[in-house]
Chain A
């Protein structure tokens, strides 16, 4: 059986045969479209995905070929592109919080933990995180990326990824402790 070439091999080959890069698209475009769609909706995601793959193609020479998969690298390019769409992303997140709350059972015993109240505050808290912490958190929570993959995507040491996630978690945990510390930041 002939095993299929790794992303690194495909990208290496695309330096001489640029059209080989099409295979990177075939492999990862669905994940990329889902990732961008979760953040900014399907319509904006399509345009961004186009931009993302063109940028990736132009930068293929600097892809670190010691990495097997190109997907974290693509996520990283996408994360940068998303920074220009912060407002649309925030709107979508708040709407998602309301929709998710409607699916939950009301919590009458602890009103502060009732989804209708809690989820919008979670959305606000995610929004209030510094860009780097928010990105690391959403890559883990929504894209199920490992810490190692997040580190590759954001081009950070893995220790920095850990500390960012810890800070993000601490911010969120405060929301889950009624009577505990009140939210420091409000919008």
Chain B
């Protein structure tokens, strides 16, 4: 017997349900529609200054679940990231080099001038994730009366992030 024929004897077909074809088509078309839907960009974009942009983005992705917009990254000929953007939900934040546009990282300035509130869906899991990623917790997870649950964390360079979920949305 030829080796290929021998291998052929081990072929075992796995019948797929006809419905699997339709499910796959639906998912693909949904993904395609989402891809081509014109994305509304927010009109106001806060810009945060950092000493080390690449490290800052990696941390924001790992700790807070933000996602860098791949096309937004600007890299100098020397390979240094000069500016990029991260998105979360329908919002975008610029991540830039400190000193440019007169703004400085809290790590350099020794003080922060602002904090940013982020409204999220599953704050308990988010809190867990941020702690596991080594975010410094500035204000532990707590309920504010019956309105919302929140915590605050500092990122690698001391920018302060406040994460909030409205309490009626928190599963009991």
Contact = CB atoms under 8 A, between A and B. Distances in A.
A21 B32 contact: yes
Interface in B1-23: 1, 3-17, 20-21, 23
A25 B24 contact: yes
Contacts of A58: 35
Contact of B14 (A45, A53, A54): A45
A49 B8 CA distance: 23
A100 B28 contact: no
Interface residues of B, number: 29
B9 A92 contact: no
Interface of A is mostly: helix
B16 A46 contact: yes
A18 B35 contact: yes
Contacts of A19: 29, 32-33, 36
Contacts, number: 108
Given A18-B36, A19-B29, A38 B3 contact: no
A32 to B, nearest CB: 9
Nearest to A58: B35
Given A38-B13, A96-B10, A119-B10, A140 B4 contact: yes
A119 B7 contact: no
Interface string A17-41: 0110110011001100110011001
Interface of A: 18-19, 21-22, 25-26, 29-30, 33-34, 37-38, 41-42, 45-46, 49-50, 53-54, 57-58, 92-93, 95-97, 99-100, 104, 118-119, 122-123, 126, 137-138, 140-142, 168-169, 172-173, 175-176
Interface of B: 1, 3-17, 20-21, 23-25, 27-29, 31-33, 35-36
A-B residue pairs, 10 tightest by C-beta: A37-B14, A172-B3, A96-B12, A42-B14, A141-B7, A33-B16, A169-B3, A142-B11, A18-B36, A141-B4
